A and B are shown apart, each in its own frame.
Chain A
Amino acid sequence: MTTSYMQQQIYSGCETTNQQNQITKLAYWMYAGPAHIGTLRVASSFRNVHAIMHAPLGDDHFNVMRSMLERERDFTPVTASVVDRHVLARGSRDKVVNNISRKDEEQRPDSIVLTPTCTSSILQEDLQNFVDRASLYSESDVILADVNHYRVNELQASDKTLDQIVRHFLNKAREEGILNRSLTDTPSANIIGISTPGFHNQHDCRELKRLLGELGISINQIIPEGEFLRNLKDLPRAWFNIVPYREMGLMAAAFLEKEYGMPFLSKPPIGLLNTAAFIARIEKLVNLWASALLGKQLNYELYIENQTKFVSQAAWFSKSIDCQNLAGKEAAVSGDATHAASITKILVKEMGIRVSCSGTYCKHDAERFNEQVQGLCDEVIITEDHTKIGNMIARIEPSAIFGTQMERHTGKRIDIPCGVISSPVHIQNFPPGYRPFLGYEGTNQISDLIYNSFHLGMEDHSPDVFGGHDTKGVNTKSLSVNRGDIDWAAEAESELRKIPGFVRGKIRRNTEVFAKENNISKITMDVMYAAKEKSSLQV
């Protein structure tokens, strides 16, 4: 029955994709952003690459997001070639070309990526022509990102742009005869798909590096984050590729496999089981070459065992009494395909929690997602509509939710704790502390997240069961003073109610203090504002 329900879901999922090209949608919230965000994420992750958006004023909000979310110290290398009335009337003419040349001179980037937006999609200007013309004058490589606003979302666009850049520079290197195809002497890997501002990407990357280091595998390159384009020619030197997230990097990895015979791993090492499977797969890949190049075979079995026992607490945690208490509790999961599938697996297989429903907004990856969570949950929901997820949660009433920021707020409203496991990102998802989701340290973090979420819920409920902590109904938060003969005029009282709750008490008290000091018995609006002004005086 489960399967048939799932199939039905896939089917309806595909159907709506087709339908949506026909219907104007009433939308409040979206999980994945517009296409150009994906392109900008890739372009601004590479080092010394500048993106120029063909967009109206105000569309450069990506800069704000990056600067705020990632607390980035450098100026985001994204500018706009502004589309205004003049452009509308006469076309961009030389504007885009001039902007490219100017950026080329000012900042000498290795490459400039011209990024189309929804606006340029409709204007149908020949951006490729601008790129061709600009390439004649500029020192940097000028590329037009090949993404269509109306066909792909942020995630698909990021995947596509990364693929495009990798292809472009490998082909170029091949033409110039500088492509390096010789395998490194010792085993090495590329990590494909670490980018800004990705969900816990920086921490995951560090954890992945450490893991590979302990396996005796060096990192050839990490793309796009922090890599120079001129180094891409060495990309094929790695023995294999790792794609930690299904959302970005799969296309590039598939290209490298086809063109250069590089195998890749696309199952994320999230959770103990997945990490073990990940390492086992690496062992297999490395051993393909190991006897020829190293003269020995590698065996990681002992490593996995030690890490599982001593570094990761997750295995012991799931045996402990704490976790026993969680057995059979219900959870709902939703997020991007990578994280939602992995967390579902951890909850069910590693902690014995019942996942009533697991879902993703990555419609383009629906089939694969279904495969991953098959048999792990009662229901699968694949939708980009947050209200459907919200209704699903309200219907199931799980003990805890694992989802995105949106689900966290749904949880808040209906009093169910939520652990955030996936983008859309929020500033809280960029903790300065070390919080990977991948690898063995990742398993510890996830255990904390899951345990804390469930436990919070139980803690919240137990006081209710026992009648609350404060059975006498004394409100200790009250700030009002001994009012005596102070009276509030109706007008002032209603004014007070307009003030946001969290400062209202403070203002009430402040005004009453002021009134008392000035022997005022009735508080009017005049008095209120006089009190506000006087509060700055030394009394």
Chain B
Amino acid sequence: MKTLDTLAFECETGNYHTFCPISCVAWLYQKIEDSFFLVVGTKTCGYFLQNALGVTIFAEPRYAMAELEEGDISANLNDQQELEKICLNIKNDRNPSVIFWIGTCTTEIIKMDLEGIAPILEKRLGIPIIVARANGLDYAFTQGEDTVLAAMAHRCPEYRHDETGEKELGIIKHLVIINNNSTNKSIFKKEGLTRSNLVLFGSLPSSVASQLNLESRRQSVPVSGWLPSQRYNELPSLGEGIYVCGVNPFLSRTATTLMRRRKCQLVGAPFPIGPDGTRSWIEKICSIFNLKPEGLEERENQIWKQNKDYIEIIRGKSAFFMGDNLLEISLARFFIRCGMIVYEIGIPYMDRRYQSAELSFLQHTCEKMKKLSPRIVEKPDNYSQVQRIHELKPHLAITGMAHANPLEARNIDTKWSVEFTFAQIHGFSNARDILELVTRPLRRKGGFTPNYRSLSKQALGN
């Protein structure tokens, strides 16, 4: 931790714009295929979801609002009865394997005992009910996912060291099958797999998850499960002897729960965002299992080489993160490695323990690239930040949509920060997607043609 001394941390008023954490239902209901998310809140919550999620709302999503009315607030109604009615409704219409109750500001204030009611209704309805308090009183945006995963961690089956039961055999069999398929005439070197007890946590699109699985498998560390899994009944077993590693920087509650309540061992690594992050993430995992990582350096260099055209655009340019989704430290570290100057990293909440590996990596990257360390501003004040942006005139402000158009009108190029949450940004293969996003505002000024031919112009003949 001694390297952190030179990073400057500040804390402002917390008057900043971000999404409400209930927005996590948007990606979580898609990730957990057999789930249903019930947001217990008011019209305000519903209106936010409806507007923030755009077109998905028209796709009959597996989520809904239990809209609290005056009767609920004044306790004229029985919370349990009301929720039972609604959940019965959901069970009949959608028959999910699990129902998530997302607590909101309102349920906090009126102290609705969701955690108390859930087990009763769970028994009565025969569907697991998981309660997560993803409210705007305590959390920002992506932290919503953190509360849900932390709650889910309690539902994972217990892992036993000496277990030779079906579950584990199942996993091994599964791996062997994959191994056979993928190594057939693969262009990559393959190794026999060793057994490991590595569970990754963080919700990623399934294709990104399988890319990370693949990276890990190349180093002979198969991933034995993910939290969350694609389906509720595929949750990984947890317990002593299981190593867990986070893939996203906003999962500190989940990490704590896994360590303290489920007795897992946390692998503290930088996050696999950008080729530099991905490499040191894998290296850290390998080091836990006493393995020597192979071919990682070449792989990283190859990715840097392949993305030279995009990196050229941002090298030497400056950036300012206003801060709203907690990905900021990792992204800034990647951008600095690309040669950018980062003035300020705004961030809603900074868990210095969970992010310690990422922070020292940032520090290290700044030294390596001979760039000044950015100031890290926790709970930023958007008004002051806009003043600072006017002074510093960064080439790029990474900010929420509330400020993007006004800043553009003042000749500050902006990148809408929420896109980083929804785009695929993890692993080696997706480095280009991050660069694609961050260079877009700079590219549209014209004069840039990417170094590769457009697909439509690729003829098979050559």
Contacts and interface: CB of A to CB of B under 8 A. Distances in A.
Interface of A: 20-30, 33-34, 36-37, 55-61, 63-65, 67-68, 71-76, 79-80, 82-85, 88, 99, 106, 117-119, 121-123, 149-151, 153, 406, 409, 412, 481-482, 489-491, 495, 498-499, 506, 509-510, 513, 516, 518, 520-522, 524-527, 529-530, 532-539
B138 interface: yes
A33 B47 contact: yes
B207 A499 contact: yes
B402 to A, nearest CB: 4
Interface of B: 14-21, 42-44, 46-48, 50-52, 57-58, 61, 64-73, 76-77, 82-83, 85-86, 89-90, 105-106, 108-110, 135-141, 178, 181-188, 205-207, 210-211, 214, 302-303, 306-307, 309, 383, 386, 400-406, 409, 428-429, 432, 450-453, 455, 458, 460, 462
A117 B48 CA distance: 13
A22 B69 contact: yes
Contact of A56 (B61, B82, B136): B136
6 contacts: A23-B69, A26-B86, A27-B65, A59-B44, A60-B17, A489-B182
B138 A85 contact: yes
Nearest to A537: B306
Nearest to B188: A526
Best-buried of A21, A57, A79 by chain B (most CB within 10 Å)? A57
List the 4 closest A-B pairs by CB distance, nearest first: A58-B20, A56-B136, A63-B402, A73-B409
Nearest to B21: A58
A525 B132 CA distance: 35
Contacts of A524: 181-186
A533 to B, nearest CB: 5
A68 B405 CA distance: 7
Contacts of A481: 460
Best-buried of A68, A482, A529 by chain B (most CB within 10 Å)? A529
B93 to A, nearest CB: 9
Contact of A20 (B19, B69, B187, B455): B69
Nearest to B43: A34
B86 A117 contact: no
A508 to B, nearest CB: 11
A30 B210 CA distance: 38
Contact of B383 (A64, A82, A106, A516): A106
B71 A56 contact: no
Best-buried of A26, A68, A106, A123 by chain B (most CB within 10 Å)? A26
A349 B308 CA distance: 65
A67 B184 contact: no
Contacts of B136: 55-59
Contacts of B61: 28
B76 A56 contact: no
Contacts of A539: 452-453, 458, 462
Contacts of B211: 529
Contacts of A85: 137-138
Contact of A57 (B20, B184, B405): B20
Contact of B406 (A73, A84, A521, A530): A73
A88 B138 CA distance: 11
Given A21-B70, A28-B64, A491-B181, A122 B460 contact: no
Contacts, number: 242
A471 B458 CA distance: 30
A84 B14 contact: yes
Given A63-B402, A73-B406, A150-B70, A58 B48 contact: yes
Contacts of B46: 27, 29-30
Nearest to B40: A24
B210 A495 contact: yes
Contacts of A490: 181
Best-buried of B65, B86, B139, B206 by chain A (most CB within 10 Å)? B65
Contact of B73 (A63, A122, A516, A536): A122
B109 A119 contact: yes
Given A58-B18, A75-B386, A149-B42, A24 B455 contact: no
Given A58-B18, A64-B401, A526 B186 contact: yes
B71 A64 contact: no
A92 to B, nearest CB: 13
B184 to A, nearest CB: 6
Contacts of B188: 526, 530
A423 to B, nearest CB: 12
A61 B52 contact: yes
Nearest to B182: A524
B405 A73 contact: yes
Contact of B106 (A28, A84, A119): A119
B253 to A, nearest CB: 15
A106 to B, nearest CB: 7
Given A24-B72, A119-B105, A522 B185 contact: yes
B402 A64 contact: yes
B306 A80 contact: no
A119 B17 CA distance: 17
B383 to A, nearest CB: 7
Given A74-B406, A122-B110, A57 B140 contact: yes
A36 B69 contact: no
Contacts of B178: 491
Contacts of B405: 67-68, 71-73
B451 A536 contact: yes
Given A122-B110, A524-B182, A509 B210 contact: no
Best-buried of B52, B67, B183, B206 by chain A (most CB within 10 Å)? B67
A24 B82 contact: yes
A122 B455 contact: no
